[in-house]
Structure 1
Amino acid sequence: MNAKASAVEGSCRCGQVRIRISAPPLLTMACHCTGCQKMSASAFSLSAAFPSAAFAVTQGEPVIGGLHGAARHYFCPHCMSWMFTRPEGIDFLVNVRATMLEDAHGFTPFIETFTSEKLPWATTPAVHSFPAFPALDQYEGLTKAYAEATAAPS
């Protein structure tokens, strides 16, 4: 999704839960933490952070799975696809698993987190890498850099 796109839609694997996003991502990322490895059954999870106001579940009722604390991970109750996460205390954004979107090609990870836990053979094209999560005061600069890097040419 670029700045000119008006909306994107997506769904879980079985299609019973559908989502719609009406704003470009604030940031894209790959997380290498062992929790994401286990929940995604892969070397890392891919996500894109969107403003909460631009995100909607348009069909179905996702359920909370994975962690039941600091972050709420939402899944389809039928196929159990991990669809999105709402981090506690950060009500203004939602992290959507980029592969749930109809066209995930444009969601290349800009940052990668928890490289301290990554599998030695796992690589991403991320521009910035962090051994854990970036410090909160770094996100403003990261989102600005991401917006500049992904701006549509004039």
Structure 2
Amino acid sequence: MKDPNLPLEGGCRCGKVRFRVTAPPIITMLCHCKGCQRMSSSAFSTSAAFPADAFEVIQGETVLGGLKQELPHHFCPDCMSWMFTRPPQLDFMVNIRAPLFDDTDWYAPFAETFASTKLAWVDTSTPHSFPEFPGADDMGPLIEAYGAALGRSV
């Protein structure tokens, strides 16, 4: 695992919506929940959480999709790429779909969530696994462990 070179930019499949982050990720994860499986049309979704104040859309505008009010998933209105999520209960962060970054060489998932619903053939090498989403008591230590694994001072 390594931190990305900053600033880090990315965009949707068609290129009409672009974004930038100016701080390193808080944590990297993949999610096996049925919602992520269906929205990504894959076995799981990959993401990196960044501080909300270090994230900006620099081109275009997104539209809400997925669960909209419950969990605001942002999509490109043209190609419908699922781009990022702003979880209301975690308003200090933005969860960006990792494959959308221009440079993905730095990305490796540190934790997997909803392992209880992962497809039977999926085997990941994530250091941490949770049957559901980590509880509030788990998130602080998990984020600290991610930083420590990257050699960041806590």
TM range (shorter): over 0.9
Q: Distance in 1 between matches of 2:100 and 2:123?
A: 21
Q: Distance in 2 between matches of 1:72 and 1:123?
A: 29
Q: Which string of whole-angstrom CA distances, capped at 9 and with x for unpartnered residues, describes residues 69-101 of structure 1? A: 321000000000000000013211000000110
Structure 1 residue runs of 5 or longer lacking an equivalent are: none
Choose 27-36 or 62-71, whichever is displaced more: 62-71
Q: Distance in 2 between matches of 1:15 and 1:151?
A: 34
Q: Equivalences for 1:1-154 in 2 at 5 Å?
A: 2=3, 5-151=5-151
Deviation at 1:135, TM superposition (A): 0.8
Scaled by the length of structure 1, what TM-score is found? 0.94
Q: Which string of whole-angstrom CA distances, capped at 9 and with x for unpartnered residues, describes residues 93-145 of structure 1? A: 00000011011221111000001110011122210000100111111111111
Deviation at 1:6, TM superposition (A): 2.6
Q: Distance in 1 between matches of 2:142 and 2:100?
A: 23
How many pairs does the alignment contain?
Answer: 151
CA contact (8 A) 1:2 1:151 kept: no
Structure 2 residue runs of 5 or longer lacking an equivalent are: none
RMSD of aligned alpha carbons: 1.3
Choose 118-127 or 92-101, whichever is displaced more: 118-127
Choose 16-25 or 99-108, whichever is displaced more: 99-108
Choose 116-125 or 21-30, whichever is displaced more: 116-125
Deviation at 1:151, TM superposition (A): 2.6
Runs of 4+ in 1 over 2 A off after TM superposition: none
Q: Distance in 1 between matches of 2:10 and 2:50?
A: 14
Q: How many percent identity over aligned positions?
A: 54
